[in-house]
Amino acid sequence: MSDNDFRLKGSVVTTVLLEVRTPNVDQIELGLKEKIAQVPQFFDQVPLIIDISACVADITLELMQTLFDRCRTLGLAVIGWRCAQDNIPAWRFDCPLPLLPNANSRSISAKAPPAAPNKDPDVVIKTVVEEIEVSQPTKIVTKPVRSGQQIYAPGDLVVMSQVSAGAEVLAEGNIHVYGALRGRALAGVKGNAEARVFCKSLEAELVAIAGNFMLSDALQKIIWKDAAQVLLVDDTLEIAPL
Amino acid sequence: MAKIIVVTSGKGGVGKTTSSAAIGTGLALKGYKTAIIDFDVGLRNLDLIMGCERRVVYDFVNVINGEASLTQALIKDKRTKDLYILPASQTRDKDALTHEGVEKILTEMSQEFDYIVCDSPAGIERGAQMALYFADVAIVATNPEVSSVRDSDRILGILQSKSRRAERGEAPIEEHLLLTRYNPERVSEGEMLSVADVEEILAIPLLGVIPESEAVLKASNQGTPVILDNDAVAGQAYADAVDRLLGEERPLRFTDIQKKGFFKRLLGG
């Protein structure tokens, strides 16, 4: 075996955390379906961690299995689960998926025996909102985005024309609209709080950055029908002139 | 090869059939051999507007199903030379229209005609999509009010994404805005969107502005396309639109408030 055969490295993956607050799996599935329908591209095969801290006592191994299956059927990639460190259920070693450490404590993975035989102890999966440091190509749209159309860009999105009322543009990075922005614009949809929205004329129904949104009513009081940028400062949306 | 024009809008009742009849007739008056096809299967209206309802024997769906030939189904207009009407079936629904069937008929007609005007049904479903799928040119009929404008915007998105030209990656459909039922007085009172407002929202070139006119209703009830009424402003506005469609320059008319004359004011006209 030579040294070139493989290499072990640490890696950071952005994941979605599903905090379970009820043992009612059907209700959770229904709610998830609704969320997914809103932004299907975002949820497609997104790595998911299930956190059962809020109701450990009510969750049995069977229930957990059902939850894994339902999530997979919905197209989510379940990679593990979490719960409060002082209240770990007895069935943890029978569970096919690994118990992952909580975001702020990594000690658990060192102490715990490997939950699955093929789990490599050197590979620690860190979780939650940390950005992927891979730059995605910018998507450029030259035609107007019409009512009812939805455009998703894995990187930045540049619209050379207008975004009509009833249209929706989403990007994991920034959004630039070189025309009137009359529809909805959601930047940083995968949690990038540094993302911004720029437009030549702000007339939007909704603008959002990393999940923080503002509706047209509020926008009209700040900047309306004028060039503007939308950015996130200390978890608060700010609308600034350009 | 014929140029295929679809008259569409998304919203109902904005004047698609009236416009199809007027523009089709206008093109025939200019000497182009023209056919108008009613795509509104199940809600046939074009034959009434064209005044040929008593002459409908075979229809569009009969031709698609091979129950009649195109020559049998096409109705020759009695007033205008070079003008033909292909009526919709009243007893069927939109599912009777198949891609293959519509394509076969349009290909056959393309050999013979200069222009084929497709009168689209309202909505964005099968019937409307079938009417616009094969189009080269789209005339988007829009009323100066917000819901009509939004529906037109929606249909423009469908023209961009669900037409044959879009699917084949060819040059996009040529888009034209036809503003219908325009009332300058109500615009000045702020009750209606202005030409500029609609142009700004839809961002496509303006083909014409048809003023709201009693002559349109009268013409419809009589079964005469309004473009044949030379005295009506709506008829003249349609004639201008046809000229522009053929690439000529025409100044915009009937978009300002007309001053009432002394007698009109006196008589309360």
Write the ipTM: 0.82
How large is the average pLDDT for residues B27-51?
A: 96
CB within 8 Å: B153 and A166? yes
**Interface membership of A150 toward B (CB under 8 Å):** no
**Look-up: residue for tokens 């009359």?**
A182
B181: nearest Cα among B10, B18, B49, B21: B18
- Comparing A134 with B168, the larger pLDDT belongs to B168
C-alpha dist (Å) from residue B265 to B258, B260, B269 = 12, 6, 6
Q: Which domains does chain A have, with CATH numbers?
A: 13-130 (3.30.70.260), 139-241 (2.160.20.70)
Instruction: Report chain B residues whose CB lies below 8 A from the CB of A225.
Output: none
* Nearest alpha-carbon partner for B133 in B168, B182, B177, B88: B168
Which tens digits make up the pLDDT trace of B121-174? 999 999 999 999 999 999 999 999 999 999 999 999 999 999 999 999 999 999
Contact B8, B131 (CB under 8 A): yes
* Helix (H) / strand (E) containing A51: strand A47-51
Average pLDDT of the residues in A222-227 = 96
DSSP for B200-254 reads: HHH-S-EEEEEEP-HHHHHHHHHT--GGG-TTSHHHHHHHHHHHHHTT------S
Q: Do B154 and A166 touch (CB under 8 A)?
A: yes
Give percent of chain A with pLDDT exceeding 90: 43
What does pLDDT average to over chain A? 84
Residues paired with B248 in a beta bridge:
none
The verdict on a CB contact (< 8 Å) between A146 and B201 is no
**Does residue A94 surpass a pLDDT of 80?**
yes
Question: What angle do helix axes B195-202 and B146-162 make, rounded to 10 degrees?
Answer: 30
Q: Which of chain A's residues have a Cβ under 8 Å away from the Cβ of B157?
A: 145-149, 164, 167
Q: What is the pTM of this model?
A: 0.72
Tokens 């309306």, residue located: A224
Whether the Cβ atoms of residue B124 and residue B158 lie closer than 8 Å to each other: yes
Contact residues, chain B, for A165 at CB < 8 Å: 150, 153, 201
Closest Cβ–Cβ partner in A143, A165, A180 for B150? A165
Question: Mind telling me how many Å the CA of B124 is from chain A's nearest CA?
Answer: 11
Confidence grade of residue A53 (pLDDT, cut at 50, 70, 90): confident
**What are the distances in angstroms from CA B115 to CA A15, B72, B82, B95?**
57, 19, 10, 25
Which distant-in-sequence residues (6+ apart) come within 8 Å of B230 by Cβ?
Answer: B236
pLDDT, tens digit, 9 for 90 and up, residues B238-266: 999 999 999 999 999 999 887 666 666 66
Q: Is B165 near chain A, with CB under 8 Å?
A: no
Q: What residues of chain B lie within 8 A of the CB of A182, using their CB?
A: 201
Q: What is the average pLDDT across B60-66?
A: 95
From the CA of B86, how many Å to the nearest CA of chain A? 32
Q: What's the confidence (pLDDT) of residue A129?
A: 55
Contact A164 B153 (CB under 8 A): yes
Query: What's the pLDDT tens digit per position in A98-133?
Result: 888 876 544 444 444 444 445 454 555 555 555 555
> Is the minimum CB–CB distance between B154 and chain A shorter than 8 Å?
yes
Question: What is the pLDDT at residue A126?
Answer: 52
Q: Quickly tell me which residue has 């990393």 as its tokens.
A: A210
Nearest CB to A146: which of B160, B172, B200? B160
Give the residue from chain B lying closest to A181, CA to CA.
B201
Mean pLDDT value of segment B223-231: 95
Provide DSSP, A102-127: PTT--HHHHHSPPSSTT--TT---B-
Distance CA B74, CA B205 (A): 32
